[in-house]
């Protein structure tokens, strides 16, 4: 503890110390100005520093999502991303970045998988550690999240994850352990969920025994937003900072009372306050307490980095007859049909990872920039891909005759007298997440709507609390209960049943939407008591439009067809898990691909999701590119791959099953509800991802972990493994470019027992390195790793162990493409417990 922190700490009263232990507002900490303690500001998120506004705020750089970054298998790029994220954070006047997200991909339907790196803890840990090093090297605090077992969004505030200590240690805590020990993050954010019956924010085992005890970490633990669930228990476990503010559990009165009752000691309060002060010092808050206005600065170096990382992460999964790349000379004068989401830039998922990007390059824009006038591009959408009907904005006037809607807030005890009225609101959607003044109030939105056409019009409606909608006084929609999925409502929208209402063109209709605050919502965190509703609208002409016929005609005309598929942020988002393994909506994208591929034999699919999806059309298409969510340069990065300007080198950081039923967590995701409590049992144990697929039929996978194609070919040979010390290893392998152009491959080293044991994975990733090789050349690749990188946790002895015996060290370009195996006798850990 520095002299400054010690001096300030001694000057603070108990009440002042308590005040530091929760946020001032949604993003900032509480100051104690008379004692020289400033506020510091935090900002989301993992793929860009969004700033203080969730939607439409200050523009920011959008970096590739973590899963795209992980597909590059390049910790060096992760470090550069960290540096850039720190610089972006500074433009938003924040000193704490709420990133990286680093929970494992347990199941393909995980709503937040895209925001995390991988199914493998080593790859996730190495990527996250380098992001943290990059961020903190610039004086900005990184906050690794969410600690731990936060692998689903369904009932995320209350779900109880039942997981063995071995699985916790080897799979779910391992990325955090790697990052803590290699990068020393200044902040750790707890998860919303329970782990084995106890909320993560008050979990003595996670926070006290492991994080601060065994790992020896010293830093600040903060809650996820609204993820504090107790007063004394969370303080005693080690939760330093409740976010956001104003506090729910840490009022001066509540904590002082807990101290008086002996539920928490004053020494514990002092320890928690010390950690807050130390974070303020680390990020320079004492030296420069100013929080200036946010800025939007387009940094060309960041733009280039985003394009480079995206190009390294985009993964070529199929390329029959080398249809790709489409070099300019080969396609000059031809017509290329663009289908599906070609006009949309799928640059990020929904929730905390979303932001108002500086710009968004669509695939169509990127391809046109790459080929200029040498190619004719034509477009047909071919499929409806929206999740919810868009808000009704056009042809609406508020109560004063302005364009837009009038919103009125009421105290529920007096619904006749509004306490606040706002006019000129655009769009019939109201999300009061940041408007705490609306808490426990009812809300009414009113407008006069004059339709432009006669006939049926489609509506889709839902509310966070009880909600009703009338047209000219007649009830057209009523929801009597609270939302069944409040976080889902907030971040992506609950599924809505569409219905029709008839209108006549030119006539005036008064539409009123009335929503009450949700009752009994005390477990909803930041959404407690907040009213919210949405009303989607679409005329029948647009809703019922036949898009497939136009696509079929273009597929006949085009020399080459490129179909862009994927998830918009509404479909893949924080707050809710995927509804289905198939692409949305209602099979329309699958039908589009199948239709185009049945007509045009040169069909290429470019898919933008953060997860594996079903691909019933895979055998009928010529090529498949997995673009992930590649950031604001999406279209340019995709065009770089298609045109051959960049030789693809992305490798899957996940396994890609053919059926959801073949996923190892199938049947245990998202769990079952009993007596009001959702429980998820991690019955698969340590057999997550490839650790599971290694043991079953290879026919269960479209593509294995670590897989990816290039426009050249590589071979690995002459593997060698030495053990220079009792706990360390050095491996070498020759990597040769056997093709005709320069490119990169990822050398992957897996370790497993020579004589397999049912309770242990066949192979475990222990080391990897990406290597660039010129055509015809070869390079010697050196991989250094340790016993701890393939150790298992013995629950009986409560120790990390490597048993004595023979082990296979397998060198490959994927977990299923092993080209060199070295068998070595290993003495194991024995007397090396302390060194693991």
Give the pLDDT confidence of 702-720 residue by residue, as tens digits. 999 999 999 999 999 999 9
pLDDT of residue 836: 54
**How far apart, in whole angstroms, are the C-alpha atoms of residue 95 and residue 117?**
24
Model pLDDT, residue 460 = 93
pLDDT grade, residue 834 (50/70/90)?
very low
Q: Determine the Cα–Cα distance for residues 185 and 136; give it in Å rounded to an integer.
A: 8
Same fold, 396-543 and 714-835: no
At how many degrees (to 10) do helices 121-136 and 174-183 cross? 30
* Cα of 786 vs its chain's centroid, Å: 30
Q: State yes or no: pLDDT of 107 exceeds 60.
A: yes
Instruction: Output the CA torsion sign for 629, 635, 636, 641.
Output: positive
Instruction: State pLDDT tens for residues 427-450.
Output: 655 554 446 678 899 999 999 999
Q: Is the pLDDT of residue 193 over 70?
A: yes
> Is pLDDT above 60 for 736?
yes
pLDDT at 430: 52
Distance CA 498, CA 482 (A): 19
Q: Is the pLDDT of residue 534 over 90?
A: no
pLDDT of residue 830: 67
Helix (H) or strand (E) holding 270: helix 266-282
CB 668 within 8 A of CB 154: no
CA distances from 500 to 191, 208, 461, 469, 495 (A): 41, 56, 11, 13, 16
Residue 564, strand partner residues = 340, 606
Q: Which of 603, 831, 663 is nearest to 105 (CA)?
A: 663
Topology annotation, domain 396-543: Jelly Rolls (2.60.120)
Task: Give the mean model confidence (pLDDT) for residues 35-51.
Answer: 96
**Beta-carbon count within 10 A of 348 CB:** 31
Please check the confidence at residue 637 and state whether its pLDDT lies above 80: yes
> In which order are the strands placed within the sheet that holds 42-43?
42-43, 96-97, 141-147, 187-190, 220-222
Return the percentage of the chain with pLDDT > 70, whole number: 98
* Catalytic sites, residue numbers: 224
Nearest one of 310, 335, 363 to 606, comparing CA atoms: 363
Q: What is the pLDDT of residue 708?
A: 98
Domain 714-835, what fold? Answer: Immunoglobulin-like (2.60.40)
Alpha-carbon distance values, 186 to 122, 222, 275, 287, 733 (Å): 21, 11, 10, 18, 37
Alpha-carbon distance 268 to 234, whole Å? 11
Burial of 274 (0-12, 13-18, 19+ CB in 10 A): buried
Q: Helices marked H in 1-91 — which ranges? A: 3-11, 14-19, 66-71, 75-91
pLDDT at residue number 831: 53
pLDDT digits (tens, 9 = 90+) for 333-371: 999 999 999 999 999 999 889 999 999 999 999 999 999
**DSSP at 580:** -
Hey, is 636 helix, strand or coil?
helix
- Split at pLDDT 50, 70, 90, the class of 583 is very high
Q: How many residues does the chain have?
A: 836
pLDDT at residue 129, as a whole number:
98
- Strands 141-147, 96-97: pairing is parallel
Direct distance between the N- and C-terminal alpha carbons of the chain, in angstroms, rounded to an integer? 28
Instruction: Give percent of the chain with pLDDT exceeding 90.
Output: 89
Fold of the CATH domain 300-384+552-703: Rossmann fold (3.40.50)
By three-state DSSP, how is residue 72 classified?
A: coil
pLDDT tens for residues 678-703?
999 999 999 999 999 999 988 999 99
Least confident among 237-251, 523-537, 734-748: 523-537
Q: Is 500 helix (H, G, I), strand (E, B) or coil?
A: strand
pLDDT tens figures, 142-189: 999 999 999 999 999 999 999 999 999 999 999 999 999 999 999 999
Q: What angle do CA 132, 576, 108 make, to 5 degrees?
A: 70
Q: What is the pLDDT of residue 431?
A: 53
Q: What is residue 432's predicted lDDT score, i.e. its pLDDT?
A: 46
Q: So where are the chain's domains?
A: 300-384+552-703, 396-543, 714-835
Q: How confident is the model over 303-317, as pLDDT tens digits?
A: 999 999 999 999 999
- Sheet with strand 778-786: strands edge to edge: 714-722, 728-737, 778-786
CA atoms within 13 A on the CB side of 283: 33
């Amino acid at each position: 503890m520095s002299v400054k922190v010690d001096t300030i700490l001694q000057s603070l009263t108990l009440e002042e110390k308590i005040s530091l232990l929760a946020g001032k507002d949604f993003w900032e900490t509480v100051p104690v100005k008379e004692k020289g303690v400033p506020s510091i500001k935090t900002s989301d998120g993992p793929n860009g520093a969004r700033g203080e506004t969730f939607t439409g705020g200050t523009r920011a750089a959008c970096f590739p999502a973590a899963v795209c970054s992980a597909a590059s298998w390049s910790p060096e790029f992760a470090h550069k991303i960290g540096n850039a994220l720190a610089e972006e954070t500074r433009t938003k006047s924040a000193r704490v970045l709420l990133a990286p997200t680093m929970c494992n991909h347990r199941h393909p339907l995980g709503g937040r998988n895209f925001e995390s790196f991988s199914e493998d803890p080593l790859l996730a840990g190495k990527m996250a550690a380098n992001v943290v090093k990059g961020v903190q090297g610039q004086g900005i605090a990184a906050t690794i999240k969410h600690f731990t077992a936060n692998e689903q969004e369904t009932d995320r505030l209350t779900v109880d994850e039942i997981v063995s200590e071995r699985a916790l240690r080897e799979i779910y805590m391992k990325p955090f352990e790697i990052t803590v020990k290699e990068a020393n993050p200044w902040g750790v954010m707890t998860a919303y969920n329970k782990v084995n019956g106890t909320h993560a924010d008050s979990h003595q085992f996670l926070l006290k025994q492991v994080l601060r005890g065994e790992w020896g970490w010293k830093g600040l633990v903060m809650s996820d937003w609204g993820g504090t669930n107790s007063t004394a228990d969370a303080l005693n476990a080690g939760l330093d900072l409740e976010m956001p503010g104003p506090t729910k559990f840490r009022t001066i009165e509540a904590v002082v009372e807990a101290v008086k009752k002996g539920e928490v000691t004053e020494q514990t309060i002092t320890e928690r306050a010390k950690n807050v002060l130390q974070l303020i010092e680390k990020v320079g808050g004492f030296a420069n307490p100013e929080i200036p206005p946010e800025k939007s600065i387009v940094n060309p170096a960041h733009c280039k980095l985003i394009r480079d990382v995206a190009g390294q992460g985009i993964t070529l999964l199929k390329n029959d007859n080398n249809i790709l790349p489409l070099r300019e000379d080969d396609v000059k004068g031809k017509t290329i049909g663009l289908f599906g989401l070609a006009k949309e830039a799928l640059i990020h998922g929904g929730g905390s990872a979303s932001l108002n990007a500086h710009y968004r390059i669509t695939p169509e824009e990127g391809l046109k920039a790459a080929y200029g006038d040498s190619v004719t591009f034509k477009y047909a959408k071919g499929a409806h891909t929206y999740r919810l009907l868009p808000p009704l904005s056009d042809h609406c006037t508020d109560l004063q005759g302005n364009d837009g809607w009038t919103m009125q807030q009421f105290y529920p005890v007096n619904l006749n007298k509004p306490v606040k009225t706002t006019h000129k609101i655009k769009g019939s959607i109201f999300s009061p997440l940041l408007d705490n003044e609306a808490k426990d109030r009812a809300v009414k939105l009113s407008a006069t709507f004059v339709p432009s056409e006669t006939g049926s019009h489609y509506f889709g409606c839902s509310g966070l609390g009880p909600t009703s909608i009338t047209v000219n006084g007649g009830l057209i929609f009523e929801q009597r209960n609270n939302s069944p999925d409040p976080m889902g409502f907030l971040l992506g929208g609950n599924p809505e049943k569409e219905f029709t209402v008839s209108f006549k063109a030119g006539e005036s209709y008064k539409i009123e939407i009335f929503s009450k605050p949700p009752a009994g919502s005390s477990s909803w965190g930041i959404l407690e008591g907040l009213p919210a509703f949405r009303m989607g609208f679409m005329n029948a002409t647009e809703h019922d439009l036949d898009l497939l016929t136009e696509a079929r005609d273009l597929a006949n005309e085009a020399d080459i067809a490129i179909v862009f598929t994927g998830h918009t942020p509404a479909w893949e988002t924080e707050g809710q898990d995927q509804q289905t393994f198939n692409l949305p909506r209602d099979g329309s994208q699958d039908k589009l691909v199948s239709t185009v591929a049945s007509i045009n034999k040169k069909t290429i699919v470019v898919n933008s999701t953060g997860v594996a999806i079903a691909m019933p059309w895979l055998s009928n298409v010529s090529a498949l590119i997995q673009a992930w969510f590649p950031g604001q340069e999406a279209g340019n990065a995709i065009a770089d791959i298609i045109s051959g300007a960049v030789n693809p080198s992305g490798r899957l950081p996940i396994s890609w099953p053919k059926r959801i039923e073949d996923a190892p967590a199938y049947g245990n995701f998202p769990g079952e509800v009993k007596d009001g409590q959702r429980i998820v049992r991690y019955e698969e144990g340590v057999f997550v991802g490839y650790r599971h697929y290694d043991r079953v039929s290879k026919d269960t996978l479209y593509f294995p972990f670590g897989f990816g194609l290039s426009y050249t070919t590589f071979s690995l040979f002459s593997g060698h493994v030495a053990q220079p010390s009792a706990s360390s290893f050095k491996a070498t392998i020759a990597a040769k470019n056997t093709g005709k152009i320069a490119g990169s491959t990822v050398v992957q080293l897996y370790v497993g027992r020579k004589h397999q044991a049912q309770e242990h994975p066949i192979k475990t990733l222990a080391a990897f390195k990406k290597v660039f090789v010129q055509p015809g050349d070869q390079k010697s690749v050196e991989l250094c790793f340790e016993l701890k990188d393939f150790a298992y946790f013995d629950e009986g002895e409560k120790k990390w162990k490597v048993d004595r015996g023979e082990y296979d060290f397998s060198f490959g370009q994927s977990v299923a493409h092993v080209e060199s195996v070295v068998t070595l006798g290993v003495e194991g850990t024995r007397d090396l417990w302390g060194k693991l």
